[in-house]
Chains A and B, each alone.
Chain A
Amino acid sequence: MRILRWLAGAIVIGALAGLNFFVFEGPLLVKLINVSLFSALVVLYRVIRGPSPADRVIALDILGVLIIGVLALLGLYYEQGFFMDIALIWALLSFVAALAFAKVLEGRRLDD
């Protein structure tokens, strides 16, 4: 079982290296966006393999906050203003979704 897990990790790292994931090219902001997206990948591991449903809800909430930072950097890179509109709406929806998931976990109804 442990050998299978090591093998899966080696395959994933090999695929990332084959796709030039670790070679950062281009300007500095693209590197920063890459680091943020790598953090989001780590969060997605916790979403997929959380032991309890609370872990998944936490990870989704954290993913929303990370995506706000990524969108701000994207807006800085492309010199466009509408990325921050997307970020504000994303923050609002993530907050409401976290509260709704908390109520469902607690066992209450949504109109309580």
Chain B
Amino acid sequence: MIRHMIGMAFIWIGMLFNFLGVLGLLRLPDVYTRLQAATKCVTFGSAGLLFGVFVLKGLTSFGFKVLLAIAFIFLTAPISAHAIARAAHRSRVPLCPESVADLYEADHELKEEGRHASS
């Protein structure tokens, strides 16, 4: 009984994180802000939901597959998010007008100047 309560609590928390992350994906003004809201919230929310399912199912084959899915999500979601953010910045997707600094662009320009000066 108490195992059922703990599992359902984890599932509810994960569902709340999922919904808030999707709301950020809908409402935020920019590619990069959308990316960080959606990726962080949805990764943590899905991991919490799967951990709740693992608590409910116990140490069966289903539970071990769920643990494998958690490890896979934690390994792959930041990698794909980083790749998409770098690709968006290199394909000149503009930032939203309220943003104040673009440090990646500044680093890129400094590197280009250094290459010209050295050559």
Contact = CB atoms under 8 A, between A and B. Distances in A.
Interface string A95-112: 100110111011100000
A27 to B, nearest CB: 12
A91 to B, nearest CB: 5
B65 A84 contact: yes
By secondary structure, the A interface counts as helix
B79 A57 contact: no
Interface residues of A, number: 43
**Residue in A45, A54, A69, A99 whose Cβ sees the most chain B Cβ within 10 Å:** A69
Contacts of A88: 65, 68-69, 72
Contacts, number: 136
A42 B62 contact: no
Nearest to B8: A28
* Interface footprint category on B: 35 or more
Interface stretch (A2-10, A17-25, A71-79): A71-79
A84 B26 contact: no
Contact of A81 (B65, B77, B81, B87): B65
A73 B61 CA distance: 15
Contacts of A91: 69, 72-73, 76
Given A84-B65, A88-B65, A54 B18 contact: no
Interface of A: 28, 32, 35-36, 39, 42-43, 45-46, 52-55, 57-59, 61-62, 65-66, 68-69, 72-73, 75-76, 81, 84-85, 87-88, 91-92, 94-95, 98-99, 101-103, 105-107
What 7 pairs between A and B have smallest CB-CB spacing?
A84-B65, A54-B88, A98-B80, A102-B83, A105-B87, A106-B87, A95-B76
